[in-house]
A = this chain, B = another copy of it.
Amino acid sequence: GSQVRTEMTRAVVLEEKNVLRLRDIDVDEPFTADDVRIDIHSVGICGSDVHYYELKQPMILGHEASGLVTQVGENVTHLKVGDRVCMEPGVPLPNSPSVLRGQYNLCRGLRFWATPPPAYATNLTNDPSWGAGHGCLRASVVHPGAFTFKLPDNVSLDWGAMVEPLAVGVHSCTKAHIRPGDVAVVSGAGPIGMLTTMAALASGASHVYVIDLNPRKCQVAESLVPGCVTGVHIGAVDPVQAILEATNGRGADVIFECAGNHKSAQLTTKYAANGARIMLIGCPPTNPVLDVGDMQVKELSVQGVFRYANVYPQAIALLGSGKIPLDSIITDHFNFDDSVKAFDYMVKPDDHTIKSVIHVKSE
């Protein structure tokens, strides 16, 4: 394949731990017949972008993006110049055992935007940009066509940038095998919990109980899909009692841990129904203690989930059908020039904030 080198480009660069700068940087990104080039439009700011990494070299941030196709490799048949698209930030090694099994998110050689690759992975390729782990907060990226998805006309580019975090929720709901009418719990009403709540309702749950320490988050959650969400403010009520009472003692059928907290995780087995599936999305700094007794007498299963695989088309279809309206999720907007300010704000955002979006391309 022909290799067209990307020019010097303006980008949001993490120079070293905690030092963020908007500056020009040289990105050496090959373009093959399997790739497309995309002009970036909107980029969401994610929790993981904010708590900074130790780096070996400066790295461009950003992994939740949408944009416009400007060049199409000859092997790519499903896209054309001008298409409005969003991109899956993780690209696995072709034909790796995990890929062939349909679990490409678990591929050990996966490269993921704005994530410094582990030592064992860097040697797998000679691509210098991959060595740095560069993300997408820049004017344009080269990306494999297989991981680039056309947006329907009624899905905006801002919504398109939200497909990445939404995909976490949709993947969890897919793996949870929600049966139509199931009662769900989401513990932790950060952006991931909010999106998972909407995904669970779109996936067949009849009601979601959303637990949080912050009463304001509980209220916001209730407003997302009125009548289908009950906020459970952990300071005001006992969540176990509240959920058991609301379900006539039966408990919740599917549970999504989105707080990233060991106490939140430990509570799940208490309000779980017989045969419930508990999905661990949150990444707790301290590991939870598992109540084996609860897990046995109710035959519970606890399932770890890691990002997503094969759910971008599904999440986009749900956006296109209007079943997951994201307007209430995107609460804050920033210009590209204010990117550093945006990241600073997201370290400790106001309670009303769910997701912030940076507009790389100013309209």
Contacts and interface: CB of A to CB of B under 8 A. Distances in A.
Interface string A274-290: 11000010011001111
Given A94-B94, A181-B318, A228-B322, A290 B302 contact: yes
A321 B227 contact: yes
The oligomer's copy count stands at 4
A251 B305 CA distance: 18
Contact of A314 (B104, B206, B305): B206
Contact of A170 (B180, B275, B315, B323): B180
Given A228-B322, A292-B284, A301-B303, A248 B106 contact: no
A58 interface: no
A297 interface: yes
A77 B252 CA distance: 21
Contacts of A181: 170, 311, 313-318
Interface of A: 34, 78, 94-106, 144, 146-147, 170, 173-175, 177-183, 199, 201-204, 206-207, 227-228, 248, 250, 265, 274-275, 280, 283-284, 287-306, 309-311, 313-318, 320-323
A300 B304 contact: yes
Contacts of A280: 292, 295-296
B174 A203 contact: no
A78 B295 CA distance: 26
B292 A289 contact: no
Contacts of A144: 95
17 contacts: A95-B99, A99-B99, A106-B299, A170-B180, A173-B204, A179-B314, A180-B204, A181-B317, A203-B203, A203-B204, A204-B204, A206-B321, A227-B321, A227-B322, A280-B292, A289-B290, A294-B304
Q: Which of A102, A274, A291, A304 counts the most B-chain CB atoms under 10 A from its CB?
A: A304
